[in-house]
Chain A
């Protein structure tokens, strides 16, 4: 009886092992053949370089018709088929190629992104950003290096993107993505009900003191209105933007490591420091005063929604100029008598940082069968106005029209339009030279111009942190953070000092010190290689 059982298991294992052998070969071959393809293409184009001039880009062999697979995040706009057809008409003529635009939707997109890259299925172009873990994927070899491809297949693009941006997206000295060149600011600020402030004669919230005064005033006079819309503890990063000048412009502190913008070489541990204790005590005070609901960690609505629907008087995080503009427009349509005020954190800090080039980019995955054609196509998307406007705004006359000679105006409304502005989530291939803005965006552009006056580069976003040396500890510490730090951040723990001590103890147990020392070392190396004092 038992013998038969063993036999069955052995047979099963045998099956598995034989597959191991079979599949292994296939995988390896697939990997090799795509690099082989790239090699032969390179050799091929060297020869045809002399012959093909005029319309066709010089270093690209366009003799064989190919279909490019283009992947973007989010949902596809309703009229995608129409736009795709128009683009393909152009691409066929210019590059003897057609494109299929694919979208991951927002459902499980991180999972899909990972699968797309690791499955080895042929993908020619894919979106990258710091928040899609560009650095990690690049370091692990998910993308093709573009250094040699650029001058050959996309010389215009190569020129178009400024040198310092190319440098900024290099990982291990190689370029793996084409950065977007439009300078935008996503710095946050305090958004608050200005009409209520005037009504109760409260100060403008521009510092911790005035913020508290404002919120106390709201609490007293409008007991049914929530003072702060922030939930899940996001306010901690926002406060840090208000009161300090951390090198990370979003205020997030990784692993509790504190680095100030002006003194990048000075690395201290914020977690467990007296400053940390003071901050936590302040948050407890706020919780006791009722600035946010007790169950703030379980609220499902986004802070932005809570604020824009009028449920709260102010919000500390998530309102960058663009979103704040959104809130203004939204509130105006529902409650025209309300007024919103905004205090940008750069005003407290003294400077603003535009987004790092890594924030929006496009890369060519290793599995691509047509890297040169893909890059040439992307060049068209960015530098050729026809391609660009089609994929940014849709078809002129059908989806949009030009107002006052320079503004974008949507035809139809949000419900009926088949292609809205940037409907393909086209943040990465914006071209500042011929971007169109809606009139309502003027307020934001004004803010950007203000920020330009005090702009200083963000050199944190470009830091390619490689967490493989401490990935186990990182996962463990993140757990500890969620369990012990978050409740402290929202003031749910009675004895703050004891709570902080417990947190530090658990964090150390999980390996915090190893992470911090390794992280600091990588940071210092980065500073050196990027030439930052």
Chain B
């Protein structure tokens, strides 16, 4: 009796809202939940005659290639490490730039620069890696030519591992700054001018106004972006790493992430089971992380939590 009252009652009270939600729910049910049965592949050795359920069950065998070479630990650290830097640095910069833009008055300048800063999003990593090679290669790269003209000895960037975490971060930020900036800019646009007026009257200077009004109002947006990013913390920007580093084994210790490792392992080995196993590993990790963080955030401020 009580249960019936609960769900069906709600359903009736908010008929229209449920109806509005229906298409979306159906969409995700079909597009995402139905195929989830495929997770089972992670535990089979695929056989064409048997298909998904006829293939022999092999337990955790498919996960072996991940840890057998001893690389898993390093890969996990690289993947997570890069993601943390990307998240923190990316968001801080995006917020900063968005704020700067919102405070500028010159309309034409604003329009122009916003579009320009959004441009990198459109450049595919394939092209980017070609340009990068052009810039950094030892013999004729643009970078080295500038050094030479200044009388400094050329640097072999492609064979200097410690430079790469920095380089990759720079490339990532370069490409994604525009995208994140727009999101924050849109949020700032939603802040009512009244707050700023009131603060000005109270004598707050521009820095104080930003710090006490804009930044706190951006918190919900930041939390959302953070949570989404955390859920994918074990997955990487495959294109970014694969295209820039390519087959240069010297750099793998500092630049290899799970996605590139799996890709290289399975390029010739077309095994569906192993690929699914790797994906499952990444998913489980992200899942545990998200559930924990969301729970914590909920305790702090229910509104900010994702669910």
Q: Are any A and B Cβ atoms less than 8 Å apart in their complex?
A: yes
Interface residues, chain A, CB within 8 Å of chain B? 12, 15-16, 19-20, 23-24, 27-28, 30-31, 110, 114, 117-118, 120, 133, 136-137, 140-142, 232-233, 293-295, 297-300, 366, 467-468, 471-487, 492, 506, 509-511
CA distance A446 to B176 in the complex (A): 56
Chain A residues whose C-beta falls within 8 Å of the C-beta of B33 in the assembled complex: 12, 15-16, 19
CA distance A140 to B129 in the complex (A): 37
Given contacts A27-B53, A114-B272, contact A487 B46 (CB under 8 A): no
Whether B266 and A475, one on each chain, are in contact in the complex, defined by CB atoms closer than 8 angstroms, is yes
Whether B250 and A492, one on each chain, are in contact in the complex, defined by CB atoms closer than 8 angstroms, is yes
B192 on the A face (CB < 8 A): no
Given contacts A118-B48, A295-B138, A366-B48, contact A480 B69 (CB under 8 A): yes
Shortest A8–chain B CB gap in Å is 9
Given contacts A15-B33, A23-B52, A485-B249, contact A110 B265 (CB under 8 A): no
Shortest A68–chain B CB gap in Å is 20
20 A–B pairs (Cβ distance < 8 Å), ordered by A = A19-B33, A19-B34, A19-B36, A19-B37, A28-B54, A31-B50, A31-B51, A133-B270, A140-B48, A297-B249, A298-B245, A299-B137, A468-B45, A471-B271, A472-B64, A472-B68, A475-B266, A483-B249, A487-B248, A511-B69
A31's partner among B54, B65, B159 (CB-CB below 8 A) is: B54
CA distance A387 to B290 in the complex (A): 60
Shortest A529–chain B CB gap in Å is 23
Whether A478 and B264, one on each chain, are in contact in the complex, defined by CB atoms closer than 8 angstroms, is yes
A471's partner among B36, B65, B70 (CB-CB below 8 A) is: B65
B220 on the A face (CB < 8 A): no
CA distance A200 to B189 in the complex (A): 71
CA distance A478 to B47 in the complex (A): 24
Shortest B70–chain A CB gap in Å is 6
CA distance A409 to B143 in the complex (A): 48
Q: How many inter-chain residue pairs (CB < 8 Å) link A and B?
A: 155
CA distance A136 to B271 in the complex (A): 10
Q: Which 3 A-B pairs have the closest CB atoms?
A: A476-B69, A475-B265, A472-B65
Interface string of B10-39 (1 = CB under 8 A from A): 000000000000000000010001101100
B 201-255 contacts with A by CB, 8 A:
245-250, 252-253
Given contacts A140-B46, A471-B65, A479-B265, contact A297 B158 (CB under 8 A): yes
Chain B residues whose C-beta falls within 8 Å of the C-beta of A299 in the assembled complex: 133, 137
Chain B residues whose C-beta falls within 8 Å of the C-beta of A472 in the assembled complex: 61, 64-65, 68, 274
Question: Which residue of chain A has the shortest Cβ distance to B159 in the bound complex?
Answer: A492
Shortest A124–chain B CB gap in Å is 16
CA distance A486 to B133 in the complex (A): 19
Question: Which residue of chain B has the shortest Cβ distance to A293 in the bound complex?
Answer: B139
Shortest A512–chain B CB gap in Å is 11
Shortest A365–chain B CB gap in Å is 8
Whether A118 and B68, one on each chain, are in contact in the complex, defined by CB atoms closer than 8 angstroms, is no
Chain B residues whose C-beta falls within 8 Å of the C-beta of A19 in the assembled complex: 33-34, 36-37
Chain B residues whose C-beta falls within 8 Å of the C-beta of A477 in the assembled complex: 69
Question: Which residue of chain A has the shortest Cβ distance to B265 in the bound complex?
Answer: A475
CA distance A141 to B45 in the complex (A): 12
